Amino acid sequence: MVGQNSLVGKTVGNYRIVEELGHGGMGVVYKARDIELDRLVALKVLPSHLSQEETFIKRFVREARACAGLNHPNIVTIYRVGTHEGLYYIAMEYVEGETLFSIIHKGGKLGVRTALEIIRQAADALAAAHAQNIVHRDIKPHNIMINSAGRVKIMDFGLARAHLGETKLTASNALLGTPHYMAPEQFMSAAVDARADLYSLGVTLFEMLTGKLPFTGDTPGLLMKQVVTQRPPTLRELDPSVSPRLSLLVTKMMAKTHLLQLVLDLG
């Protein structure tokens, strides 16, 4: 099996690894060159502990193939799902640009018009996916790329769906997903639908407009309690100059009105 710690310079399937772009709980993303088509791709290689779970692999392949059928200008295109010497990988469109996370943390809060344009494009992408019954489940600034032309590209479509439906814990008992952006029902091991993406998009818009997160619990348990039970602050509570309509929009995106029925169902 190829070691994941030394893939730069190696060939995985038809892809020559150029450099590492980033890594997280769901694997390492590399910049690579497709040898056959002579084009750059982003290659996501899954971590070994996930590659050992047969149930995960079956769902992962099925969902990734379904997401490969998505064709939208604001969604990163998936080219191929494959294996090489025991490694599972996804080859996808390489986007020249930077993540929304990087933009926020370099410059703080964004202007209203800029933030709303980013959200508009992201929402268009999510609507297209939801129309095909595909839920992202891990919307956050880290998974939203802005290319050099200002176009939004949502990454990792369907990858979170492939594992969050099975369990909310990894082999090391860490939450899958990023807790600050997760919808309340994701903490409750409940069925997740398109509303979870809308909630996460609302948190992202809140952060873009304020430079802050709505909930900032010091521990995972405290953060989970806040997300599930507490009302997030409104934009106008933080800044009275914010338009009432804009404040209401963000509040509605993060609304918990459907949770009462969810709790009843779980009971």
CB 110 within 8 A of CB 208: yes
DSSP-derived 3-state class of residue 200: helix
* CA distance between the termini of the chain: 46
Taking the CA atoms of residue 39, residue 139, residue 120 and residue 135 in that order, the dihedral angle to the nearest 10 degrees is 90
197 is catalytic: no
Pairing of strands 11-12, 87-93: unpaired
Catalytic pick among 34, 38, 138, 156: 138
For residue 78, give Cα distances in angstroms to 24, 44, 157, 265: 19, 11, 9, 36
- The alpha carbon of 52 is separated from its chain's Cα centroid by a whole number of angstroms, namely 23
Would you please indicate which residues are annotated as catalytic (active-site) residues?
138
